[in-house]
Amino acid sequence: MPLRLLRRRITIEFTGLRGFSRRSGGIIGSAQLSRGKDKAMYFDWEDWIGPALAVACVALIILVAWAAIEDGKKWDAFKTEHNCKIVQHVRGDVVVGTGVGVMQNGQVGVVTTTSTTPDKTAWACDDGVTYWR
């Protein structure tokens, strides 16, 4: 018995930013995906944007963590190869400042700012260079 492949016409129609979202009332693009004559599926882009952003954020966090781990491995190999020794350690600092600002609605408000500096360690290596990490 021969195997037959069925082909169905699939069309996607995108309305862009012209249509209004049925859920939020805002300007949101929408798409219609239809399969065949009787089977039609509809979805709004707002149904997919939240999960897509969540996946992108998790992927970015994983990428940054991986890069930090790889950087640490490279530094450990470098300091072992070049006989690096700690010569100085500088503690980080946290500076909190306050001031007065004008908000978007015209009201005056108190603004608090925080600035941080991380700890740093000086490493003297046998190549004659001091590295700060």
d(CA 85, CA 123): 5
d(CA 119, CA 127): 24
Helix segments in 82-115, DSSP class H: none
State both tokens at 106. 């015209």
pLDDT tens-digit map of 93-126? 999 999 998 888 889 988 888 999 999 999 999 9
Give the pLDDT score at 14.
Answer: 45
Helix segments in 12-131, DSSP class H: 46-81
Residue 8 binned pLDDT confidence (cut-offs 50, 70, 90) = very low
Residue 84 binned pLDDT confidence (cut-offs 50, 70, 90) = very high
Indicate the domain borders of the chain.
10-44, 48-81, 83-133
CA 60 to chain centre: 5
pTM above 0.75, yes or no: no
